């Protein structure tokens, strides 16, 4: 039996569960293994568990003796994680256990994202179900699938799947803050048809960009981090500009393969493109690219200190047509990436943004994925329509996926007051109420239950959706105490100011 890496961290009840979760591959849309594990865990611990047709799970536990009349509290998280991995790692986080490490202050994974978003939330919910010392009312732990790439689980959930009127979302990522509002959003998929043509006397070049910070496409979208796709397309555009000035009208750039980004909700940190140029232009094209490389590396080093740009010659005899290649470059160049507008009501909050998330070559098309977020429906729809219009003009097939709603908490909610009072009792200082430019599932649950009161909390998790992700150990201990405090205080909803320390069973 391998030694547990996190065995000495507190609270052990949470870290033991989280470490088990990290052993199970659980990328978005591929949560079968984690669902099997969760159902088995529930059975072993004599916890009632049910599953809906989408794959969402609800684990339920009856109230402690004498607390049957307390209102039901729903603890909520999601089963999937954003899988990101460094090129040199041997771990495939879609197939292998993560290599988890700790320095005592943080927990991280070697070469991959950690999945503390939202594995820690799941672990906190499970721990609440098996803490024998905790006195509680009826508890439900609601676990959704595919939160990270479309919120499919929450969008497809049927009314009545969970029963509680009070829901504590455990998917926030800053200690000392209660999330009370999140953005809505939707994705746009643009497909450009391509067909390989054979050429003779052309030379292949490969452009590779890596080492960018990437990051969460909502939380970090206004931090000035570079998008690897945009950086790469800038280089391709320089080549196109050079070739367009040549007397030979056949001097064009023909793309062979193009890839960038991996998931919709992460800023792309890597990009690669194989392309062809006429043999007679190859030397000057390489000169143009090397000049661009020196300029780009110097100009971008303050923003992206680890940026790596590699140029190499390759063997290739096929490429897309000049028109198709030009359309790909035009679309990637013109699609907006980054912040679109800032909130006029909340200082520092991004209101609307686009993330140019993924470009990939498939058998007969190049597919480009864009993720748009906004707290204003009109701006969300306008941004997506602009992308659609641009795609239409270049002959792309455009699919606007289903949007998910934003969410705002009633500031007079007794549940919010109870959560805040419980939080401050443990933290011993004032807690900030925060709105975020990221998507949480809370808005979808409110559509299922109009009486629902919702708040969101979580430990400090940094660099989510990247291979640099880590969670602060002490913050998990504090959040665990807060979760227990909230659970033990559900009888004080009529007077949330009258909160005493949670009572442990004799």
pLDDT band at 251 (very low <50, low <70, confident <90, very high): confident
User: And the tokens for 422?
Assistant: 């419980």
Between 344 and 268, the more confident residue is 268
Q: Is the pLDDT of residue 21 over 80?
A: yes
275-285 average pLDDT score: 95
Instruction: Confirm whether 146 is a catalytic residue.
Output: no
**Active-site residue, selected from the candidate residues 80, 140, 304, 469:** 80
398-413 average pLDDT score: 92
CB atoms under 10 Å from CB of 472, counted, come to 17
DSSP 8-state secondary structure symbol assigned to residue 281: G
137-156 average pLDDT score: 95
Judge whether 128 and 13 are in contact, CB under 8 Å: no
pLDDT band at 499 (very low <50, low <70, confident <90, very high): low
pLDDT tens figures, 84-127? 999 889 999 889 999 999 999 999 999 999 999 999 999 999 99
Q: Is the pLDDT of residue 82 over 90?
A: yes
pLDDT tens figures, 294-331? 999 999 999 999 999 999 999 988 999 999 999 999 99
User: And the tokens for 149?
Assistant: 């790439």
Contacts of residue 92, defined as CB under 8 A and 6 or more positions apart, other chains included, come to: 85
Q: Is the pLDDT of residue 503 over 50?
A: no
CA–CA gap between residue 484 and residue 423 (Å, rounded) = 10
Output the pLDDT for position 501.
Answer: 38
Judged on CB neighbours under 10 Å (0-12, 13-18, 19+), 411 is exposed
Give the domains, in start order, of the chain with CATH numbers.
Answer: 12-183+406-492 (3.40.630.10), 186-400 (3.30.70.360)
Contacts of residue 278, defined as CB under 8 A and 6 or more positions apart, other chains included, come to: 201, 202, 203, 248, 250, 251, 252
Judge whether 287 and 277 are in contact, CB under 8 Å: no
211-227 average pLDDT score: 94
**Active-site residue, selected from the candidate residues 117, 147, 208, 220:** 147
Q: Percent of the chain scored above 70 by pLDDT? A: 97
47-75 average pLDDT score: 97
Instruction: Confirm whether 147 is a catalytic residue.
Output: yes
**What mean pLDDT is reported for the chain?**
94
Judge whether 165 and 453 are in contact, CB under 8 Å: yes
Q: Is the pLDDT of residue 504 over 90?
A: no
């Amino acid at each position: 039996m391998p030694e547990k890496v996190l065995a000495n961290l507190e609270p052990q009840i949470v870290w033991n569960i989280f470490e088990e979760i990290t052993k199970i591959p659980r990328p978005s849309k591929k949560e079968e293994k984690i669902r099997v594990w969760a159902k088995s865990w529930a059975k072993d611990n004599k916890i009632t568990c049910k599953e809906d047709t989408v794959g969402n799970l609800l684990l339920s536990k009856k109230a402690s003796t004498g607390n049957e009349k307390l209102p039901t509290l729903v603890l909520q998280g999601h089963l999937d994680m954003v899988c990101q991995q460094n090129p040199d790692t041997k771990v495939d986080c879609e197939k292998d256990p993560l290599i988890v490490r700790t320095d005592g202050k943080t927990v991280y994974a070697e070469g991959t994202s950690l999945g503390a978003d939202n594995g820690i939330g799941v672990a906190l919910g499970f721990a609440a179900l098996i803490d024998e010392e905790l006195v509680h009312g009826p508890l439900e732990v609601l676990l959704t699938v595919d939160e990270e790439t479309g919120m499919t689980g929450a969008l497809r959930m049927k009314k009545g799947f969970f029963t509680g009127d009070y829901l504590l979302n455990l998917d926030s990522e800053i200690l000392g803050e209660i999330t009370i509002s999140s953005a809505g959003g939707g994705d746009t998929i643009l497909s450009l048809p391509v067909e390989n043509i054979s050429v003779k006397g052309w030379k292949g070049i490969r452009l590779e960009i890596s080492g960018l910070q990437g990051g969460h496409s909502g939380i970090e979208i206004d931090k000035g981090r570079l998008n690897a796709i945009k950086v790469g397309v800038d280089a391709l555009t320089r080549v196109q500009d050079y070739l367009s000035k040549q007397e030979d009208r056949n001097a064009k750039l023909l793309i062979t393969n193009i890839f960038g980004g991996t998931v919709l909700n992460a800023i792309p940190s890597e990009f690669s493109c194989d392309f062809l140029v006429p043999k007679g232009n190859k030397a000057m094209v390489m000169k143009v690219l090397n000049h661009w490389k020196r300029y780009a590396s110097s100009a971008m080093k303050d923003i992206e200190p680890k940026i790596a740009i590699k140029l190499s010659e390759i063997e290739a005899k096929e490429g897309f047509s000049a028109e198709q290649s030009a359309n790909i470059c035009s679309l990637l160049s013109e699609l907006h990436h980054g912040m679109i507008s800032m909130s006029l009501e909340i200082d520092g909050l991004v209101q609307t943004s686009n993330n140019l998330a993924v470009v990939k070559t498939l058998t007969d098309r190049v597919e480009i994925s864009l993720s748009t977020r906004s707290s204003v429906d009109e701006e969300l729809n306008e941004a997506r329509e602009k992308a659609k219009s641009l795609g239409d003009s270049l002959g792309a097939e455009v699919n606007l996926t289903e949007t998910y709603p934003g969410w705002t908490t009633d500031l007079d909610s007794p549940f919010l007051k109870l959560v805040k009072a419980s939080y401050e009792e443990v933290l011993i200082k004032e807690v900030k109420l925060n709105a975020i430019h990221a998507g949480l599932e809370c808005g979808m649950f409110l559509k299922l239950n109009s009486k629902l009161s919702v708040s969101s909390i979580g430990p400090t998790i940094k660099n989510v959706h990247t291979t640099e992700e880590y969670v602060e150990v002490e913050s998990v201990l504090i959040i665990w105490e807060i979760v227990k405090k909230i659970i033990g205080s559900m009888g004080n909803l009529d007077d949330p100011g009258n909160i005493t320390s949670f009572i442990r069973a004799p």
